[in-house]
Amino acid sequence: MKAINMSRRKFLKTSSVVGGGLVVGFAMTGCSTVKLPIEMSDYGFVPNAFLQITPDNTVRFYCPRDEMGQGVTTGLGTLIGEELDVHPQDMEISFAGVHRDYKNPDFGVQGTGGSSSLKAHYLPLRQVGANTRALLVEAAARDLGVSVGDIATESGHVVVAGKRFPYGQFVGTAALLTAPEQAPLKLNADFRYIGTEFSRVDAIAKSTGTAEFGIDIDIPGMHHAVVIRSPIAGAKLSSVDKSGAQNMPGVTDVIEISSGVAVVAEKYWQAKTAAEKLDPKWDDVALAKVDTSTVRQDYAEAMKNEEGVSDTDEGNVVAGLESADHVIESEYWAPYLAHAPMETMNAIVRIENGEADVWSGTQGIVAAQGLVARFSGIPVEKVRAHSTYLGGAFGRRGTLTHVIEATEVAVASNKPIHLLWSREDDIRNGVYRPASLMKIKAGVKNDGSITAWQAKRVGGNITPKTLENMMPALFPGLGDGTIDFMVGLSRDVFASWVVDHSSVEGLYEDYDTANKTVDHVTVDHNLPLTFWRSVGHSYTSLAKEGMVDELAEKVGMDPVQFRVNNTQNNPRLNNVIKVGQQQMKKMQPAEGRYLGFASHHSFSTDVAEIAEVSVEGNEIRVHKVTCIVDCGIAVNPDVVRGQMEGAVMFGLTAALYGDLDLEQGAIKQSNFHDYPILRMGEAPEVDVIIIDSGTEPTGVGEPGLPPIAPAVASAVYKATGQRLRSLPFKLA
Amino acid sequence: MIEFTLNGKAVRTDDDPGTPLLWVVRDTFKLKGSKFGCGAGLCGACTMHIDGKASRTCMTPISAVSGRNVTTIEGLGTPDELHPLQAAWVELSVPQCGYCQSGQIMSAASLLNKNPTPSSADVDAAMSGNICRCGCYVRIKEAVLTVAGQSLAYNADEEIKA
């Protein structure tokens, strides 16, 4: 093992930055007059919202995106460090507070998701780095009495005639100058850090227990809160006898809040133990009549009887199906799923002197700020929102019910509150990946060309639920009635007029055919829904790739060659399939092992995966996965590999185990014994091949997931002759 | 009043004897490196060593550790002085979200204390109680096997004597 040079590594500071600060120069969105949330703990130079350089040459990067494990601090640190000529491991990286300059350029709000961060920030953050470097060079030229052309930069220093001067020496002069807005960017050939591998900037903190997550926040006078919620989503409290909990040791308050009953105590375990004494009664809601069998039956009837709303209508599908030599029709099912990040939901809220602080690991800290303002009545500009590391997210930490709860409890108890969900709360009171029933009817000619692709999906939609979550957070001043009206409107629009694209994404795009239709029928049983790693692609990939395997078989073609032939309109996808095909030809699986192949385009990235699988009895075992990915320039190839490895495991958990059942409206599963997650002994070896396509970076957090389930299904078909069309996979 | 040794220091607490060790360490002694994941001994995020043996502390009442030796991730190594396992974790960029990694490292350290040269199957068996939702298993195993066989700067005997 190589020795670690500790002096190179700075630790990520999780203390959020708030309050006043010196603002000079430019900001990303132009000439900003909005005060930055950067607190000047020591004298330094703040040329923009992203950087602070101090006289002792500390370079601090305020990372605008949330670190949930995807490596965004390493990735974005590399972009800004590349142009600034500072090694990402030599920077101190802090999580940014709320400010308009920290908006995600892809979303227009300060949020993290959709595998968007590297793609959205690739040029803007490099530009910030380049402009700042130009400013420092100009300042150095003045201070040293040399011309700009005589100055080079490296590792946080200007270099003049072989002599090195730290950037920090010039910040006083730099603060008086105006930075250029379009300093030239480096040519790819000159990159020092982009495309190279070094360990993640957060690796030391996360290997020593020193990385600070939301759950770790500990402030003076803090009390702990535990909430008992209805087992059925949306049911309101009708009555509760508080006496059982009120007299328990350490308990200070028992409070009715919007989501249930909160117990406040000096310590967490006291609150938890006392809360178990409560037996609240809940109002009746329609969901209480719903079982998983109800959902499946309602979806099946809708699939059969309802036309739905058209998402895509190209060419003439009827004529295409008529011209086919073979027509195949298959249905595919995917269940509701919980995200189950290892850190359960939590938020810390302090309200004092008409001001508030909130700490939480979120996928949009601006939403936490807005919710605290809305539910405390404190103006949004007096709410300081602090980001922490996220102990996993996968889409879950965009919904911040726990911030609302902590705010309500802090207001009612008049105490700083640390509110934590249990694992049971996480699984039973969550927001879920929507269940889906999909049908594809496709035609193929004997020459292997696809003549028509008719797809339909039945299920709930995410977008109206997202509006329901985000509007109160982003517009804390907007009345409840207005929000209800707009959410209701969006629900109607997606049920009757246009398709929520995240419901059908990935169901039809990848393969060539002139005749395609995609229809959608909204059937929603009022279980809360949200994004779940790779969103619609997490279930559509099985239907799309499964159908392609069936078409190839029908015409007696190798399924991988069939994919090569039918992806001519998607050259980058076509290329990863070809590379996968070459890899597969070299593989010689042991006796009893079978290779399955699948590919999928999502979040602007193309991935093919080959799964080596054996079946023993009814048990599916995945031994090895080879993953071919084209995500443009791999800013840190090792982080890309890590994301592919992780997405394979996440997708395998869903393929082999992931299932939630509704029983009279309540989620039946509760913890890892009945909602199992893949463990080390079941984890395959993963080989990742990154295609060096040289184009701008695209997403990596999610695109590794969609191909794994269909790749395993394809291998299982070879092993057993059974087509797996229902998740999670069960062998007959 | 319950007394035990925490990372080499004698400590005492008047927390209820039924309180799980995890919450006493986190809330009373303010060591936040050990994590809550499931509260049922199913995920391993709370793993500490009790007398050198990896234990699920979300299920262990403090009455059961009276007079015993408890080591947390903070007692294993620090950012300035990494335990060999932690150094391997950094070198291989094992953590993603990082939340489960304290527990993973404590389970791995306990394994290597008992069995300095584990096979791949030994590692699977010893680590099967630790869930990583980010799916870093390939690297966790590689890191453990990298360190296996090297002389460790830390061992269970020293821990108990401390």
Domain ranges of chain A: 6-207, 214-284+345-420, 293-337+434-462+500-720
Cβ distance B90 to A4 less than 8 Å, yes or no, reads yes
pLDDT of A549 higher than 50: yes
The residues near A450 (Cβ < 8 Å, ≥ 6 apart) are A442, A443, A444, A511, A512, A513, A551, A566
Least confident of A82-96, A469-483, A581-595, B126-140: A469-483
**Are the C-beta atoms of residues A533 and B134 closer than 8 Å to each other?**
no
Query: What is the rounded average pLDDT for all residues in chain B?
Result: 93
A37 — pLDDT class (breaks 50, 70, 90): low
- Which among B93, B114, B156 is positioned nearest to A75, based on CA atoms? B93
Q: What is the mean pLDDT of residues A88-95?
A: 92
**Are the C-beta atoms of residues B149 and B116 closer than 8 Å to each other?**
yes
Q: What is the mean pLDDT of residues A464-480?
A: 86
B71 and B103 together in one domain: no
Comparing A214-284+345-420 with A293-337+434-462+500-720, is the CATH topology the same?
yes
Q: What is the distance between the alpha carbons of residues A675 and A669, in angstroms, rounded to a whole number?
A: 6
Q: What is the mean pLDDT of residues A519-529?
A: 96
Which has more pLDDT, A97 or B64?
B64
Query: Considering CB atoms only, which of B84, B90, B125 is closest to A203?
Result: B90
What pLDDT does A44 receive? 64
- Among the candidates B76, B109, B127, a domain finishes at B76
Q: What is the mean pLDDT of residues A6-17?
A: 32
Radius of gyration of chain A (CA): 27
Residue type, A453: W
- Which among A713, A420, A429, A711 is positioned nearest to A584, based on CA atoms? A711
Cβ distance B36 to A69 less than 8 Å, yes or no, reads no
B64 and B10 together in one domain: yes
Residues in chain B: 162
Cβ distance B37 to A341 less than 8 Å, yes or no, reads no
A110 — pLDDT class (breaks 50, 70, 90): confident
Share of chain A above pLDDT 90, in %: 83
B68 and B116 together in one domain: no
> Chain B interface, mutation test: which of A680, A685, A687, A708, most B Cβ atoms within 10 Å?
A680
Q: How many other CB atoms are there within 10 angstroms of residue A151's CB atom?
A: 18
> Chain A interface, mutation test: which of B14, B122, B138, most A Cβ atoms within 10 Å?
B138
Q: How many other CB atoms are there within 10 angstroms of residue A463's CB atom?
A: 17
Q: What is the distance between the alpha carbons of residues A630 and A599, in angstroms, rounded to a whole number?
A: 11
Give kind and range of the element (H or E) at residue A440. strand A436-444
- Structural domain including B157 reads 84-161
Contacts of A209 in chain B (CB under 8 A): 31-34, 72-74, 102
* Residues facing A628 on adjacent strands: A608, A689
Give φ, ψ of B88 to 5 degrees. -65, -40
Task: Give A364-421 as a 3 state SS string.
Answer: CHHHHHHHHHHHHCCCHHHEEEEECECCCCCCHHHCCHHHHHHHHHHHHHCCCEEEEC
The residues near A508 (Cβ < 8 Å, ≥ 6 apart) are A312, A453, A455, A516, A518, A544
B104 and B56 together in one domain: no
Contacts of B80 in chain A (CB under 8 A): 6
B43 and B103 together in one domain: no
The residues near A484 (Cβ < 8 Å, ≥ 6 apart) are none
What pLDDT does B47 receive? 98
CATH topology classification for A293-337+434-462+500-720: Aldehyde Oxidoreductase; domain 4 (3.30.365)
| CATH at B129 | 1.10.150.120
What pLDDT does A57 receive? 92
| CATH at B70 | 3.10.20.30
What pLDDT does B151 receive? 53
- The CATH class given to the A214-284+345-420 domain equals alpha beta
> Chain A interface, mutation test: which of B25, B80, B133, B145, most A Cβ atoms within 10 Å?
B133
A17 — pLDDT class (breaks 50, 70, 90): very low
What pLDDT does A598 receive? 98
Radius of gyration of chain B (CA): 15
Cβ distance A269 to B36 less than 8 Å, yes or no, reads no
What pLDDT does A39 receive? 55
A495 — pLDDT class (breaks 50, 70, 90): confident
Query: Considering CB atoms only, which of B39, B97, B138 is closest to A342?
Result: B97
Cβ distance B79 to A218 less than 8 Å, yes or no, reads no
Give φ, ψ of A131 to 5 degrees. -65, -40
- What are the pLDDT digits (tens) for A315-334? 999 999 999 999 999 999 99
B152 — pLDDT class (breaks 50, 70, 90): low
Task: Give B68-85 as a 3 state SS string.
Answer: CEEECHHHHCECCECCHH
**Are the C-beta atoms of residues A732 and A722 closer than 8 Å to each other?**
yes
Contacts of B123 in chain A (CB under 8 A): 680
CATH topology classification for A6-207: Aldehyde Oxidoreductase; domain 4 (3.30.365)
* Residues facing A687 on adjacent strands: A626
A36 — pLDDT class (breaks 50, 70, 90): low
Which has more pLDDT, B46 or A104?
B46
Q: What is the distance between the alpha carbons of residues A558 and A570, in angstroms, rounded to a whole number?
A: 19
B143 and B91 together in one domain: yes
Least confident of A17-21, A371-375, B54-58: A17-21
Query: β-strand A666-667 against B47-50: which pairing, if any?
Result: unpaired
- What are the pLDDT digits (tens) for A384-404? 999 999 999 999 999 999 999
Contacts of A394 in chain B (CB under 8 A): 133
B90 and B48 together in one domain: no
A467 — pLDDT class (breaks 50, 70, 90): confident
Does ipTM surpass 0.85 in this model?
A: yes
Count of domains observed in chain B: 2
Burial class of residue A436, CB neighbours in 10 A (0-12, 13-18, 19+)? buried
**Are the C-beta atoms of residues B37 and B100 closer than 8 Å to each other?**
yes
Sign of the torsion angle spanned by Cα atoms A651, A656, A661, A666: negative
Alpha-carbon distance A416 to nearest alpha carbon in chain B (angstroms): 15
Share of chain A above pLDDT 70, in %: 94
